[in-house]
């Protein structure tokens, strides 16, 4: 399994490349090869701006099948939001941007899919929570493939492969 960090400036095509390679959008390049033609239900996707549905945090963390409360508590602890187990009845709209991003990662954990694609998982996080998420990704990459699209290029790439994109104007 593995962890691949795709880094580069805004507008360099990081997200588009992944979506094209997965067959989610039509390729603008006839040379682009589909890298994943398996079951689309194997993919857990976290967009740059995670989507929150009307309803409670519990309903948003477990949208398809209701999970065991202990699984939800564990996922929250893994993203440094263990104290949120007291807030499962609240709307996700009550939380900060960084909290929402970590909650979206908790939702990805609960989906338990073999392929994760995370678009900007470090955006809005402080240094301590960036480290928590970096460690989580390294740990999870032992059991699944993870593509992490990010502007953050700190120590995060030490546990995986880094692909650095440049804008076409810069090449």
CATH number of the CATH domain containing 100: 3.40.50.300
**Looking at the 3D structure of the chain, how many domains does it have?**
1
| Residue indicated by tokens 């090449």 | 171
What's the predicted TM-score (pTM) here?
Answer: 0.84
The percentage of the chain sitting over the pLDDT mark of 70, rounded to a whole number, equals 78
Residue 119 sits in which domain range?
A: 2-166
Tens of pLDDT along 80-109? Answer: 999 999 999 999 988 999 999 999 999 999
125 in any annotated domain: yes
Reported residue count of the chain is: 171
- Phi, psi for 168 (deg, rounded to 5): -55, -30
In the predicted model, what is the mean pLDDT of the chain?
A: 82
171 within some domain:
no
Buried b (16+ CB within 10 A) or exposed e, 130-165: bbbbbebbeebbeebbbbbbbebeeebbebbeeeeb
Asked whether residue 82 is assigned to any structural domain, the reply reads yes
Instruction: Return the higher-pLDDT residue of 31 and 100.
Output: 100
């Amino acid at each position: 399994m593995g962890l691949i960090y795709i880094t580069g400036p805004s507008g360099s095509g990081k997200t588009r490349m992944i979506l094209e390679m997965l067959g989610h959008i039509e390729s603008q390049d006839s040379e682009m090869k589909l890298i994943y033609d398996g079951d689309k239900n194997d993919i857990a996707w976290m967009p740059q701006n995670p989507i929150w549905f009307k309803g409670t945090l519990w309903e948003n963390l477990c949208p398809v099948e209701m999970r065991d409360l202990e699984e939800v508590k564990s996922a929250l602890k893994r993203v440094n939001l263990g104290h949120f187990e007291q807030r499962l009845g609240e709307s996700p709209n009550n939380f900060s941007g960084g909290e929402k991003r970590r909650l979206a990662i908790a939702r990805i954990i609960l989906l338990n899919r073999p392929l994760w694609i995370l678009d900007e998982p470090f955006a809005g996080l402080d240094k301590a929570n960036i480290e928590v998420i970096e460690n989580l990704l390294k740990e999870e990459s032992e059991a699944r493939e993870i593509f992490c699209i990010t502007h953050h290029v700190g120590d995060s790439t030490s546990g995986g492969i880094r692909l650095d994109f440049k804008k076409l104007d810069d090449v």
